[in-house]
């Protein structure tokens, strides 16, 4: 009897424990847990003019390597590095004695061929020359004339002229050298204007247009600022750096500016309305870039896509709207769908 009562008491205690355990469910515990304390900020629409300063190197507007198209002894090379030349000035001359001899021979052959053709034409009325002989004589004249033209061209190429006005930047041979065909003899640069190439983020490239003004500082010339403009935008993006090339023209050339100098180029885009939030509210994990958006007093994870950064703010391109509230501080322990309270 005593054992029977003991069993009933134990069963009753076990039931009470089970009911107590059931009442302590996760949902019940969550209700008792205090809300997560955070600070917030608002997504705002701002008129932003992006400005960036990028390094570049000054380059000559044009650089031409001067090669010889005839081989032989270099007789004359009257110019040196730093010399200014005008278009069609003589840069170099090669020995032309053999070519002149070939030209004289070709000229004599042409004269003889023309005389032969004339003589045959005079024989035609007396039927002492056939049409076939006339045709061959005409061909001989054409071949001789082509030979004269060929040797005249070779003779002209022994005199190397400046293709444009510029400055000699390299002198690589000396008079007395025997020059093989296509030897790099001189380098001529055109410094009537200078250019610089800069590498621009793919996010900024669509905002740049041809002829946009830029501001240029050249380290060697101190704090002076010079004007330039966008001359060319290259049509490809480097797959590794995600940057494209923009070519800047500097004209007129500042006094003291030389190819090879370091310069710093400032680009400024037109004002454009952009959705902006502080950069430090952005979170990252293996699922991507996100923020915690506040909805109904809960923190909701929202994946986003960002654009350009401006000072302490960054542009939001997807999944947020103007006046949305996002968490700015209090991220430690914060999870998706967690109740929050704000300071």
- Per-residue pLDDT tens for 163-202? 999 999 999 999 999 999 999 999 999 988 899 999 998 8
- % pLDDT > 90, the chain: 63
Residue 244 or 125, more confident: 244
Q: Read off the DSSP letter of residue 207.
A: G
Query: In order of start, what are the domains of the chain with their CATH numbers?
Result: 31-48+273-342 (2.40.420.20), 51-61+193-271 (2.40.30.170), 62-184 (2.40.50.100)
Stated as kind and residue range, the H or E segment containing 107 is helix 97-123
0.85 surpassed by pTM = no
Selection from 314, 219, 215 nearest residue 267 by Cα: 215
Note the pLDDT tens digit of each residue in 89-144.
999 999 999 999 999 999 999 999 999 999 998 887 887 778 888 899 999 999 99
Give dist(CA 233, CA 126) in Å, integer: 74
pLDDT of residue 145: 97
Q: Is 81 helix (H, G, I), strand (E, B) or coil?
A: coil
Give dist(CA 324, CA 43) in Å, integer: 5
> Which residues are CB-neighbours of 88 under 8 A, at least 6 positions away?
161, 162
Point out which residues pair with 326 in neighbouring strands.
41, 293
pLDDT grade for 15, boundaries at 50, 70 and 90: low
Neighbours of 151 (CB within 10 A): 19
- Could you give the angle at the alpha carbon of 287 between the alpha carbons of 286 and 288, nearest 5°? 95
pLDDT of residue 311: 82
b (16+ CB within 10 A) / e for 152-161: eebeeebebe
pLDDT of residue 324: 92
DSSP assignment of 148-204 equals HHHHHHHHHTTEEE-SSSEEEEEE---TTPEEPTT-EEEEEEEEEEEEEEEEEETTT
Q: Are 291 and 279 in contact (CB under 8 A)?
A: no
Residue given tokens 């704090």 in the structure block: 223
| Tokens found for residue 84 | 């200014």
> Which residues are CB-neighbours of 343 under 8 A, at least 6 positions away?
37, 38, 39
Give dist(CA 17, CA 23) in Å, integer: 10
State yes or no: pLDDT of 17 exceeds 60.
no
pLDDT grade for 10, boundaries at 50, 70 and 90: low
Long-range pairs, 178-184, Cβ under 8 A, ≥24: 178/71, 178/72, 178/73, 178/74, 179/68, 179/71, 179/72, 179/73, 179/74, 179/94, 180/71, 181/68, 181/69, 181/70, 181/71, 182/67, 182/68, 182/69, 183/67, 183/68, 184/65, 184/66, 184/67
State yes or no: pLDDT of 31 exceeds 60.
no
Give dist(CA 255, CA 258) in Å, integer: 9
What separation in angstroms does the CA of 57 have from each of 53, 197, 240, 251?
13, 7, 21, 15
State yes or no: pLDDT of 83 exceeds 70.
yes
Give dist(CA 233, CA 243) in Å, integer: 12
């Amino acid at each position: 009897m005593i054992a029977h009562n003991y069993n009933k008491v134990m069963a009753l205690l076990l039931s009470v424990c089970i009911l107590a355990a059931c009442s302590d469910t996760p949902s019940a515990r969550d209700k008792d847990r205090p809300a997560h304390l955070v600070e917030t900020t608002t997504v705002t629409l701002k008129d932003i003019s992006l400005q960036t300063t990028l390094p570049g190197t000054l380059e000559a507007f044009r650089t031409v390597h001067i090669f010889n198209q005839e081989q032989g002894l270099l007789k004359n090379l009257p110019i040196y590095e730093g010399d200014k030349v005008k278009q069609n000035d003589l840069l170099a001359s090669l020995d032309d004695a053999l070519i002149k001899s070939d030209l004289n021979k070709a000229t004599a052959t042409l004269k003889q061929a023309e005389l032969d053709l004339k003589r045959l034409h005079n024989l035609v009325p007396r039927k002492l020359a056939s049409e076939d002989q006339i045709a061959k004589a005409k061909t001989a004249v054409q071949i001789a004339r082509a030979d004269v033209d060929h040797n005249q061209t070779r003779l002209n190429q022994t005199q190397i002229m400046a293709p444009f006005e510029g400055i000699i930047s390299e002198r690589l041979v000396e008079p007395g050298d025997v020059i093989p065909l296509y030897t790099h003899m001189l380098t001529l640069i055109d410094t009537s204007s200078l250019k610089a190439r800069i590498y621009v983020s793919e996010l900024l490239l669509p905002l740049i247009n041809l002829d946009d003004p830029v501001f240029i500082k050249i380290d060697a010339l101190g704090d002076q600022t010079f004007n330039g403009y966008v001359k060319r935008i290259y049509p490809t993006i480097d797959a590794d750096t995600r940057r494209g090339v923009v070519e800047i023209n500097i004209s007129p050339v500042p006094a003291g500016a030389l190819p090879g100098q370091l310069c710093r180029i400032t680009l400024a885009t037109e004002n454009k309305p952009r959705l902006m939030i502080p950069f430090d509210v952005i979170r990252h994990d293996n699922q991507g870039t996100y923020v915690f958006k506040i909805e109904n007093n809960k923190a909701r994870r929202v994946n986003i896509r960002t654009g350009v950064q401006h000072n302490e703010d960054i542009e939001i391109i997807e999944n947020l709207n103007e006046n949305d509230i996002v968490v700015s501080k209090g991220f430690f322990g914060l999870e998706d769908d967690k109740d929050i309270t704000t300071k």
